[in-house]
Amino acid sequence: MAELRFNALKEVFARKPLEVNIPEGKISDYFGINVFCLSKMECYLSKETYLAIREAILKGTSISRDIADKVAAGMKLWAIEKGVTHYTHWFHPLTDSTAEKHDAFIEFNESGGLVETFSGELLVQQEPDASSFPSGGIRNTFEARGYTAWDVSSPAFIVGTTLCIPTVFVSYTGEALDYKAPLLKTLAELDTAAVEVCRYFDKNVDKVISNLGWEQEYFLIDEALYYARPDLVLTDRTLMGHQSSKDQQLADHYFSSISERVMSFMIEFEYEAYKLGIPVKTRHNEVAPNQFECAPIYEETNLAVDHNQLIMDIMKRVAKKHKFKILLHEKPFAGINGSGKHNNWSLGTNTGVNLLSPGKNPKGNLQFLTFLVNVLMAVHDNRDLIRASVMTETNSYRLGGNEAPPAIISVFLGSYLSEMLDGIVEKVTGGKMTPTEKTELKLGIGKIPEILLDNTDRNRTSPFAFTGNRFEFRAVGSSSSCAPPMIALNASVADRLRKFKIDVDKLIDKGVKKDEAIFQILKRYIIESEAVRFEGDGYSTEWENEAEKRGLSNIKSVPESLKAYFSPEARHVLIDGGIFSPKELEARVGVEYEKFIKKVQIEARVLGDLAINHIVPTAIQYMTTLLDNVNALKSVFNEIESERLAGARKETIKNISDHISLIKKLVSEMVNERKKANVIDDLCDKAFAYDREVKPFLDKIRYHIDRLELTVDNEIWPLPKYRELLFSR
């Protein structure tokens, strides 16, 4: 077995950076060349068709079958000119990845010859037999067909020789089976609710867009070493491995110069991303060795979510060419930083205003404060739902697990805004405001600097931080889709904005002036949301204690956290808010429970297998060598002398033997717990059993394996060690 490890290392040492062929010239020369965007539509469609589809994209209006036919014809022409032979509806089932089923453009014509066709019907809707996707029981196999429907707001693109059409995925009975359908609903709800509120300030606003700029962290591991680690291959994380003596203590990887081999990988995947219209902008080495980050310029949320899914896919494919494996898992290595996905989120209007950026005058600033406070309220009221949206089995090793960020949702505003909000509470009294009071307030508000981006003020330990012109949600897992947290956040904010409008209108109806009504409601919200505001060190134990006093939950368990989806508050936001039907919500959370169970189950199986079939035999082999050695001493030295000489070896033999016994005992106990859990019918109860009774064994067993790694002869250790995984490239 050790042979595999050493051969892998030899392969790595012989690697050279791959030469990449990127056309010379500017990025803008090839940006979006594989996307059927508006400018291409203008070339390939008649004026009338172009205007109709443009309207549908920008305003969400529907298009006729006739227009769809014409768009399909233009799309086909464009694609075939680019060497495309197939098309697929590209969708986001409730797994961790995207789905595609390719069909060739070919049909027989009347005279039996083969022709390339593509109709509006095929563009708009497909009925894939999708019975194997998770549906949480919505679709039984006898009604296996779901259908995919074109999402006009996200442009079609080409990967290889396939035209990919972004679609939603719905069951035959109309329930959403994907992430995109509910995401689009939240975006529409948020748009409507936010426009209503904007009109207090500006009658010209008729559209509000949610923007998302994600930052994607990842690890790169050499392919040969990866394949020598069955745990990485099957679970995306190392289930064992003693910490490397040096890893990230010296902070010498963060922002350091990028190695040639990694750089050539980055250049190539970025090139592929550019061709698909993904505006990747930032690349750098992250804190942990072999950890990196990539971030694009922010985009409209639906498109940004698609682009994130797409880039994870591109990175995997390009990594393969470069003999790397990309690890998107949130915690692939114990003891060093894991990976997250920061979701930078803001709201923009059709009039070009960022609603989370201070305005140019008191009115603009009051609008800014209105949105800021409503987001604060949304997070306050729905913090458990927001946590649930990012709590997955893999992310649980980060949030509240083996890494600093706790599972407490709080909001950081920075000292300037905090004082501003406290000032409003102080200055706005319950009664009618005097003109002087009003002027004073507005003057204060008018002084908010346009640029609040103060780097020294940034708190990196907050899970939900205001960073000058946006909120940054940092608890999202690196491997998940950005959609679930965006659904939870946008739906919560939409709900709060609707309530805000009702609250303000009530006061206006009572004769309170608009500005004053807004101030009074904001004051109430600022007071009500106080518990969720935290400016200090989010990683400290003091905060965990303080949060408890404030009544903020710190739920580290995935099944426990998922329960929040069924709380009355969450049901109000998601069901009454028009995002899910009760059945859809139940099914969706059921899928999450199932994913959790299966992932723990797989990890437990892999660890059991590796422990018994790889580690224990290796340890026995080494123990036998020591035993032989002790026996051999007896043939050379007299009893007293050989006893003295064998002392340390005997100690080691005992140690190894103890670890082996404990590993065997723990593995058999774990298998027993699994058996018990497997017969539980109720999904939620089963998930709890896996969480409480099975999952803890992973660390307990690992402990003994990691001790053995320190003892057993390096020459026979079967699995690449942390130092090799993290430092060879």
**351-to-268, 279, 347, 408, 481 alpha-carbon distances in Å:** 37, 23, 12, 36, 30
| Alpha helices (runs of H) in 19-171, residue ranges in sequence order | 27-30, 38-44, 47-59, 65-81, 120-124
The residue from 298, 324, 371, 688 that contacts ligand ADP (CB under 6 A) is 298
Shortest Cβ 501–ligand ADP spacing (Å): 23
Element (H, E) at 603: helix 582-610
Is 296 or 577 the residue whose CB approaches ligand ADP more closely? 296
253 contact choice in ligand ADP, Mg ion, none (CB below 5 to 8 Å, kind-dependent): none
297 contact choice in ligand ADP, Mg ion, none (CB below 5 to 8 Å, kind-dependent): ligand ADP
Assess 341 for contact with Mg ion (CB under 5 A). Answer: no
| Cβ atoms of 356 and 378 closer than 8 Å | no
Is 456 or 635 the residue whose CB approaches ligand ADP more closely? 456
Assess 329 for contact with Mg ion (CB under 5 A). Answer: no
Question: Which range of residues in 62-70, 104-112, 226-234, 292-300 is near ligand ADP by CB under 6 A?
Answer: 292-300
Question: Which range of residues in 36-44, 62-70, 339-347, 619-627 is near ligand ADP by CB under 6 A?
Answer: 339-347
Contact letters (x/-) for ligand ADP, 168-197, by CB under 6 A? ------------------------------
Q: Count the alpha carbons within 13 Å of 216 in the hemisphere toward its beta carbon.
A: 31
Element (H, E) at 348: strand 341-349
- Exposure string of 443-455, with b = 16+ CB inside 10 Å and e = fewer, is ebbbebeeebeee
Residue whose beta carbon is closest to Mg ion: 342
Question: Which range of residues in 76-84, 171-179, 341-349, 656-664 is near ligand ADP by CB under 6 A?
Answer: 341-349
Query: How far is the C-alpha of 406 from the C-alpha of 475, rounded, in Å?
Result: 9
Assess 470 for contact with ligand ADP (CB under 6 A). Answer: yes
90 contact choice in ligand ADP, Mg ion, none (CB below 5 to 8 Å, kind-dependent): none
The residue from 261, 307, 322, 342 that contacts Mg ion (CB under 5 A) is 342
Which token pair is 694? 């099975």
Question: Which range of residues in 100-108, 164-172, 294-302, 316-324 is near ligand ADP by CB under 6 A?
Answer: 294-302
| Alpha helices (runs of H) in 113-229, residue ranges in sequence order | 120-124, 180-198, 223-227
Is 189 or 217 the residue whose CB approaches Mg ion more closely? 217
Query: How far is the C-alpha of 499 from the C-alpha of 502, rounded, in Å?
Result: 5
Question: Which range of residues in 210-218, 579-587, 651-659, 672-680 is near ligand ADP by CB under 6 A?
Answer: 210-218
The residue from 295, 319, 408, 660 that contacts ligand ADP (CB under 6 A) is 295
Is 300 or 537 the residue whose CB approaches ligand ADP more closely? 300
Question: Which range of residues in 148-156, 211-219, 386-394, 516-524 is near ligand ADP by CB under 6 A?
Answer: 211-219
The residue from 297, 425, 527, 632 that contacts ligand ADP (CB under 6 A) is 297
| Cβ atoms of 140 and 62 closer than 8 Å | no
Query: How far is the C-alpha of 574 from the C-alpha of 182, rounded, in Å?
Result: 10
| Cβ atoms of 217 and 205 closer than 8 Å | no
β-pairing verdict for 162-171 and 86-90: parallel
- Exposure string of 370-392, with b = 16+ CB inside 10 Å and e = fewer, is bbbbbbbbbbbbbbbbbbbbbbb
Is 95 or 354 the residue whose CB approaches ligand ADP more closely? 354
SS3 438: helix
CB atoms within 10 A of CB 415: 10
Closest CA to 181 of 146, 229, 224, 142: 146
The residue from 285, 346, 410, 618 that contacts ligand ADP (CB under 6 A) is 346
Question: Which range of residues in 61-69, 160-168, 208-216, 426-434 is near ligand ADP by CB under 6 A?
Answer: 208-216
- How many residues belong to the site for ligand ADP (CB under 6 A)? 14
296 contact choice in ligand ADP, Mg ion, none (CB below 5 to 8 Å, kind-dependent): ligand ADP
Residues that bind Mg ion (CB under 5 A): 342
Question: Which stretches of the chain bind ligand ADP, using CB under 6 A?
Answer: 211, 213, 215, 282, 295-298, 344-346, 354, 469-470
